[in-house]
Homo-oligomer: A and B are copies of this chain.
Amino acid sequence: MYDQSCSLPILEDAVITLAHGSGGKQTQKLINEVFLSAFRNRHLELMHDGAELVLPSNRVVFTTDSFIVQPVFFPGGDIGKLAVTGTMNDLAMCGALPLYLSCGFIIEEGFSRKDLAAIVNSMQLEAQANGVEFVAGDTKVIERQTGKNLFINTSGIGVKMVDRPINPRQICPGDAIVLSGDIGRHGMAVMAAREGLQFAAPFMSDCASLVPLVQALLHKSIDVRCLRDLTRGGLATALVEIAEASEMDLEIDEGAIAICESVSSVAEVLGIDPMYVANEGRFIAFVPKSDAEEALCSLRQCGMDGASVIGYVGIQTTDPKVLLKNGFGVQRRLYRLSGDQLPRIC
């Protein structure tokens, strides 16, 4: 059991085995060949229990997210890209510039090593493009079920880009609600991939870093009060959460919400409301009405042509409501999603 002949060449394993999670020789080899070879930096090279960091400021934001999306590759991305953008985006939503990430892998025995390497490389590409480093990691292996499961946790540290707080409590009556682009792509792309649906006009997940967009908004004189990305539960859930946290009514104009034709079609086929579908590269910003035009310009300059003002903040109330007005002037109240519409989309 304790290998004493290290001189023989070891054939590259095609799939992950329980031994890769033992903490011994095979774990070490996997770390070197897959994780270190992609993420290599001075912190990881120390191979210590944690990363020693000297931060540029002591005002930090800390967040965590686990990813279980199935399939792990989907049009427009993969679980690795998602795990990096998801956590960076959470930091950006608090007005922080992401600096350091950790990654915890739970891999199913039988998972393809080639796929794992592709996912890890995709993580590094996305991190590098955003000036972020992986400084801590962990690998565990669980027994085989389907051989298709990979779970990734990413936690992140960022430093605040502005001194003022950015959260639901800063929202004021009359604030404009700016949506950064069309909704529903991520959830529908994953569902279409899972169900093997084919479309005349295929579409891709919106999975992307929101860091440059938030940087652009914060570098202008726009008084951003609150930011929220539209992940699990979609736009509707994000609005309800913010209405509750700010204790404000929100009045939304349904016609101002962009949804692309292909997403509408798939949603109709699957009987799903795109308002509740997860996005991984879309957010809403709450800004003073007078700053709304500049916010839109700023987003459009970053390539977000579909950005729009979708509504306004109403009055402060103890029973905060999200009211959606359609083209005929009819209002309906939006609630949180009840039950499970789309499992394992992030």
Query: Contact residues of A with B, CB < 8 Å?
Result: 1-4, 6, 17-19, 21-28, 46-68, 89-91, 93-94, 96, 100, 102-106, 135-138, 140-143, 145, 149, 151, 153, 155-158, 160, 165, 167-169, 228-229, 231-233, 237, 241, 245, 273, 276, 278, 333-344
Contact = CB atoms under 8 A, between A and B. Distances in A.
Contact of A52 (B94, B142, B153, B339): B94
A4 B93 CA distance: 29
Contacts of A47: 168, 241, 245
Contacts of A55: 55, 58-60
A160 B60 contact: no
A95 to B, nearest CB: 8
Contacts of A138: 64-66, 153
Number of copies of this chain that the complex holds = 2
Contacts of A19: 338-340
A24 B64 contact: no
A319 B81 CA distance: 39
Nearest to A241: B47
Contacts of A17: 340
A142 B68 contact: yes
B66 A23 contact: no
A117 B176 CA distance: 40
Contacts of A54: 58-59
A338 B3 contact: yes
Considering residues A63, A158, A344, which has the most beta carbons from chain B within 10 angstroms of its beta carbon? A63
A142 B22 CA distance: 24
Residue from A64, A335, A337 with most neighbouring chain B CB atoms (10 Å): A64
B49 A90 contact: yes
Contacts of A341: 1, 22, 24
A24 B337 contact: yes
Contacts of A151: 106, 140, 142, 151
Given A3-B338, A339-B19, A53 B60 contact: yes
Given A53-B62, A343-B22, A48 B94 contact: yes
15 contacts: A1-B338, A4-B335, A23-B237, A25-B336, A46-B168, A46-B245, A47-B168, A47-B241, A49-B229, A50-B91, A53-B62, A60-B157, A68-B140, A143-B343, A155-B155
A329 to B, nearest CB: 21
A2 B338 contact: yes
Contacts of A51: 61-63
A232 B241 CA distance: 41
B24 A336 contact: yes
A50 B2 contact: no
Given A63-B51, A66-B104, A138-B65, A340 B22 contact: yes
Nearest to A102: B64
Given A48-B168, A62-B50, A62-B135, A155 B26 contact: no
A339 B22 contact: yes
A56 B57 CA distance: 11
B46 A63 contact: no
